[in-house]
Chain A
């Protein structure tokens, strides 16, 4: 199923005008969905038998520029049943970003969301175990943000080299 067809399905199902499609993107079109709907949409995409997006390939945070006030969270979905793929994007503000978790739909989302929380500071509401995964528990700040400043000292060690 193409992204355009899936887009029409989602629009009629959720009757929300905030869902939009970007077809001009280089290589692959993608769908932008409001953050409040991402969990419901994921469930729908995974459970409907003709969509059957049973695999979450990748979940990434993207911060395009330090001057932007928003960040993106990108979901790359794939269906092992029908061999079609789909890219979803959620736009979140940089100040207090909150997104519902999709952990109950795909189990791998647990770790991917922890990673995005760790590196970008996005809080996934409803996540069962949201804590840092790659960095130490007492690290301050979220390093993959473009406006991140590394600390001078961490536990008595000089950080910048």
Chain B
């Protein structure tokens, strides 16, 4: 037997003993609707799911262990690979944490104004790209192939913008500790304006295509209800919490960066009795993302209209050497609150870096959410909580 296993671990090695009419099926790790390599151990009674046990770790890359041997600036590209769908927001979340720790040092002047605007611009564009992917693949999981093509057509435009901005399409390494890596290329703001003018009316088109589609409603309305108390207990944040009706968004409630200068709303889920939609069901979680894209467009428009201040794009500093201490910092990524806990001993490397991933928390609710539902509903749940396995497994 294994050297360091406990009693309960040993028990898990035994064969599962299903009831005589039960069947144990392994869904994944290679399955198109699991959004990466996730394996679900399903205990089925015909079509009904008695238990769905998630097995994760297939994408574990020891991010936290790596980070202990890297300087702070070297860690930034590693955060790209956590949630690779919204890498800008991951860069940003990590840099926020380091900057908060560095703010205890009087020599650190803070992030320059221009860099903050560039971060908001990049972060909100990435939020749209991320929600577009969530929308497109959710439709595809449920059986509607067309929205996927529409979503990827428009997401491609954002990726081209990012390619102009920093040279990369997915793993940007753009937001760095103290600022951003490079200034705007010529004509970039005009390109962004052209994109959002084109994009804003498309959201209504998507809603016509999928959100109010009869078949889609049948599959998602009233399915797998995660109410507010359950979402908070499971640590589910972002659209999953807002879909349960709680108006909570760190950009508004604990404003970081320069979000307090912009005017935007926080979309929350709503009860629609005639359609059968209840707070916290799959449809509401999905709908919040659709509405958030509009709010992101609003923020980007305000950045463009107000104009960007001139000045440096990165804080002047000799070395990134935060004072000894620790910080837990959160930011609002597209999939929820991304937290970083950093323990520093005053050297150039962190002693401990822990990433609290919103997808990890949301996925842990799957077991309770799926109990007693049908197999097809599992697909609807995974799509609606919108997980990226790169971030779950780190």
Give the B-binding residues of A (Cβ under 8 A). Answer: 25-28, 54-58, 60, 62-64, 74, 76, 80, 83, 87, 106-108, 110-111, 119, 121, 123, 127, 129-138, 140-144
Contact = CB atoms under 8 A, between A and B. Distances in A.
Interface residues of B, number: 50
Interface in B79-137: 100-101, 104
Nearest to A108: B235
B57 interface: yes
B9 A76 contact: no
B364 interface: yes
A144 B65 contact: yes
Contact of A63 (B325, B326, B352): B352
Interface stretch (B25-33, B179-187, B353-361, B376-384): B353-361
Given A87-B328, A132-B9, A62 B343 contact: yes
A82 B393 CA distance: 32
Nearest to B364: A111
Contact of A25 (B2, B6, B325): B325
Contacts of B254: 83
Contacts, number: 111
Contact of A108 (B60, B326, B354, B364): B364
Contact of B9 (A27, A87, A131): A131
B234 A108 contact: yes
B4 A58 contact: no
Contact of A26 (B234, B323, B351, B360): B323
Contacts of A142: 4
A106 B233 contact: yes
A58 B3 CA distance: 29
A60 B57 CA distance: 17
B327 interface: yes
> Chain A contact residues: over half helix, strand or loop, or mixed?
loop
A99 B246 CA distance: 33
Given A60-B352, A138-B2, A140-B3, A27 B253 contact: no
A5 to B, nearest CB: 20
Contact of A129 (B4, B8, B60, B230): B8
B2 A140 contact: yes
Contact of A74 (B62, B341, B393): B341
A123 B6 contact: yes
Contacts of B361: 108, 111
B234 A107 contact: yes
Contact of B232 (A64, A74, A80, A129): A80
Nearest to A132: B9
Interface string B248-290: 1000011000000000000000000000000000000000000
A57 B254 CA distance: 15
B64 interface: yes
Contacts of B35: none
6 closest A-B pairs by beta carbon, nearest first, are A26-B325, A108-B235, A60-B354, A134-B57, A58-B356, A111-B364
Contacts of A60: 341, 352, 354
Nearest to A118: B57
Nearest to A130: B8
